[in-house]
Amino acid sequence: MCGIVGYVGSGSALEIVVAGLRRLEYRGYDSAGVALVADGDLWMRKRAGKIDVLEEALSAESPPDSSTGIGHTRWATHGGPTDSNAHPHISADGKVAIIHNGIIENFAELREELTEAGVHLTSETDSEVAAHLVALTLPDTGDDLAEAMRQVSRRLSGAFTLVAVDARRPDRIVGARRNSPLVVGIGDGEAFLASDVAAFIAHTRDAIELGQDQVVELTAGGVEVTDFYGEPVDTKPFTVDWDASAAEKGGYDLFMLKEIAEQPRAVADTMRGRIDRSGQLHLDDSRINDNELREIDKVVVIACGTAYHAGLVAKYAIEHWTRIPVEVELASEFRYRDPIVGRSTLVIAISQSGETMDTLMALRYAREQGARTLAICNTLGSTIPRESDAVLYTYAGPEIAVASTKAFLTQIVAAYLVGLYLAQVRGNMFGDEVRRILDQLADMPSKVDLVLDTVEDVRAIARELAEARAVLFIGRHVGFPVALEGALKLKELAYMHAEGFAAGELKHGPIALLEEGLPVVVVVPSPSSSAMLHDKIVSNIQEVRARGARTIVVAEEGDESVNSVADHIIRVPATPTLMQPLVATVPLQVFSCEMATVRGHDVDQPRNLAKSVTVE
Ligand code: M6R
């Protein structure tokens, strides 16, 4: 939610900041703005709309030369997407510019205080108060921007990343972080601040993740980090393990298409190096020992959206392999229902970004209750893995398209590895049984590759159905979360009514939705791996067809039993049941992407959405 960039050095701040904003546009795209420090003044431009609109406005101007600047791309919370609500916000004296990501929960009382002090606020945002407060605090600090930021941060509640510049101090920018991401990039004679390393990866791969309640002051020569009370803190530098090309489209029209195509590599990378010669699995970072894992009597997966669907898939596998009960819960619901978690509960937080506020809050709640926590995450050094007892990173590489694709497949793989690890240390499975599953997983990149070879057929089906009013998705067992994921993709990309159902549940109500010609996508399990499930779903397809629906059947190669009941067949390679989500999801991603394209939507940046949801 909202992308933030800051730069100080000797380069062109405007160019660097706008290029950074482009890379962060996935985080929010309803307005954008920049502020530069030049000749003792602030130069600021901001516009409602995407960054293109801002760039067009900038091209009609003569911005000053400046090597210190900040920029923001917004996902609106308080106040609609207008020019005046766009960031940066400037203090009443015109000297301090601020950008903000998050929600300042006590902004109403601060606004009132400022109004009573005679300050005229020009936007409806919660963020603007921070600009005025910093400017009003500066004189008491001897014009020390970092100290003013610390004092103001102590007064704010909620979630915020704030970055500020002062027209009188062109040599520095200051950032503060609470419950919202902020990363520092260290270059040669230059430094960067951003919500995500993607913003500065073209300049440096050396980064520092700011911790909770920290303030950072950046100059071209260095970086100083303190807590909100001015105490210096140790920082955790890291090197980003991908380069600028990974965050570009690489010849594809859409990030989503590129990311779909990257799935075989992403799955392979997520497995790589996890298993040593003796067949032992390894996590990235673990402060939970094997004895503690043997004491676990319940697993709770917390996640949102697509990551939640990955958790639902994992439940089938982890319960099957470990015989430990697994609950999968939407993170936004978990902490508000007084869940039963304790020392013997393993809470697995799944998150691509590692910053999703609902998941983070659920994770913190679980920790407070004494649970052991494990993060499955795609973003090195982000908050959720930092606050977990153990981490398994998915090596999907940067996922830029708002619709999650490669993250989903790698989350399933990572969760399966956790399940196998648990089964291994608890003695639920023999070594050869674990290895058999690992071999099946190792086959999946090439099977996903085979699916990618057939996507043209899927696109043709999507084009044929693009005018449909709604689409239903049904599946059984692990095919059920795949159906949910198929429906989510279609909703968020094609803005169509789409629902996923457990196929067996149709007759308990949803079957009433069926009407002549309604497309129903059916995920059919392998007949050889689970004959009973397979036969049941073939009966479900017949029931659907009997009511006039048009059936699009995802079935494995060689399964001829679906020929007579399918209007369209999408073939996927034969896989054991638990592996099927890794192949069956891919055509559904392509289906939604094509539907959205035909319907003229912005696939990478669907309306109302943002990639990283850092508000509750
Ligand atoms: O970064 P996270 O994995 O925590 O994000 C969770 C959801 O917001 C995310 O999966 C969302 O549902 C996707 N846009 C779906 O494609």
Domain ranges of the chain: 3-251, 273-443, 454-598
Distance CA 484, CA 30 (A): 28
323-365 pLDDT, tens digit each: 999 999 999 999 888 999 999 999 999 999 999 999 999 999 9
Nearest to 90 by CA among 48, 39, 132, 119: 132
Regarding the beta carbon of 402 and ligand 1, being less than 6 Å apart is answered yes
Q: Which of 256, 350, 353 to mutate to test the pocket of ligand 1 (most atoms within 8 A of CB)?
A: 353
Q: Which class for 172: exposed (0-12), middle (13-18), buried (19 or more C-beta within 10 A)?
A: buried
What is the spatial order of strands in the sheet that 326-330 belongs to?
A: 285-286, 390-393, 372-377, 345-351, 298-303, 326-330
- The token pair at 289 is 């020992």
The DSSP letter of residue 123 is: S
How far does the centroid of ligand 1 lie from the alpha carbon of residue 148, in Å?
35
Which residue CA neighbors atom 10 of ligand 1 most closely? 306
pTM assigned to the model: 0.84
Instruction: Supply the pLDDT for residue 279.
Output: 62
Report residues of the chain scoring pLDDT below 70.
277-279
Distance CA 5, CA 450 (A): 40
Instruction: Give me the amino acid identity at 1.
Output: M
State the closest ligand 1 atom to the C-alpha of 359, by its place in the atom list counted from 1.
Answer: 4
Interhelix angle for 406-425 vs 431-452, to 10°?
170
Q: Which of 301, 356, 376 to mutate to test the pocket of ligand 1 (most atoms within 8 A of CB)?
A: 356
Regarding the beta carbon of 492 and ligand 1, being less than 6 Å apart is answered yes
Regarding the beta carbon of 356 and ligand 1, being less than 6 Å apart is answered yes
- The token pair at 40 is 């003792």
What is the spatial order of strands in the sheet that 183-186 belongs to?
A: 41-48, 31-38, 68-74, 3-8, 191-194, 183-186, 206-209, 236-239
Regarding the beta carbon of 404 and ligand 1, being less than 6 Å apart is answered yes
Name the region of 213 (left: φ>0; alpha: ψ -120 to 50; beta: rest): left
- With the C-alpha atoms ordered 274, 269, 1, 46, is the resulting torsion angle positive or negative? positive
* CB distance 367 to 288 below 8 Å: no
CA distances, 616 to each of 106, 136, 307, 358, 532 (Å): 15, 30, 16, 5, 42
Distance CA 570, CA 568 (A): 7
Instruction: Supply the pLDDT for residue 278.
Output: 67
Is the CATH number 3.40.50.1820 carried by domain 3-251? Answer: no
How far does the centroid of ligand 1 lie from the alpha carbon of residue 400, in Å?
11
Instruction: Supply the pLDDT for residue 531.
Output: 83
Write out the CATH class of domain 273-443.
alpha beta
How far does the centroid of ligand 1 lie from the alpha carbon of residue 64, in Å?
39
Distance CA 316, CA 320 (A): 6
Judge if 273-443 and 454-598 fold alike in CATH terms: yes
Instruction: Supply the pLDDT for residue 247.
Output: 77
Phi, psi dihedrals of residue 445, rounded to the nearest 5°: -55, -40
How far does the centroid of ligand 1 lie from the alpha carbon of residue 566, in Å?
32
How far does the centroid of ligand 1 lie from the alpha carbon of residue 616, in Å?
13
Regarding the beta carbon of 549 and ligand 1, being less than 6 Å apart is answered no
Regarding the beta carbon of 359 and ligand 1, being less than 6 Å apart is answered yes
Regarding the beta carbon of 415 and ligand 1, being less than 6 Å apart is answered no
Regarding the beta carbon of 378 and ligand 1, being less than 6 Å apart is answered no
Q: Which helix (H) or strand (E) holds 239?
A: strand 236-239
Superfamily of domain 454-598: Glucose-6-phosphate isomerase like protein; domain 1 (3.40.50.10490)
Nearest to 156 by CA among 173, 190, 131: 131
How far does the centroid of ligand 1 lie from the alpha carbon of residue 546, in Å?
36
Nearest to 86 by CA among 102, 95, 99: 99
Distance CA 308, CA 335 (A): 15
Q: Which helix (H) or strand (E) holds 365?
A: helix 357-368
* Total number of residues shown for the chain: 616
Pairing outcome for strands 31-38 and 285-286: unpaired
Distance CA 156, CA 35 (A): 23
Instruction: Supply the pLDDT for residue 517.
Output: 94
Would you give the distance in Å from CA 2 to the centre of its chain? Answer: 13
- With the C-alpha atoms ordered 546, 547, 548, 551, is the resulting torsion angle positive or negative? negative
Regarding the beta carbon of 384 and ligand 1, being less than 6 Å apart is answered no
Q: What is the torsion angle, in degrees rounded to the nearest 10, for the CA atoms of residue 347, residue 352, residue 354 and residue 357?
A: -80
Regarding the beta carbon of 613 and ligand 1, being less than 6 Å apart is answered yes
State the closest ligand 1 atom to the C-alpha of 407, by its place in the atom list counted from 1.
Answer: 3
Which residue CA neighbors atom 8 of ligand 1 most closely? 305
User: What would you report as the CA-atom Rg of the chain, rounded to the nearest whole angstrom?
Assistant: 25
Enumerate the active-site residues. 2, 611
How far does the centroid of ligand 1 lie from the alpha carbon of residue 362, in Å?
15
Which residue CA neighbors atom 4 of ligand 1 most closely? 351
Partners of 161 in beta bridges: 101, 177
Instruction: Supply the pLDDT for residue 277.
Output: 63
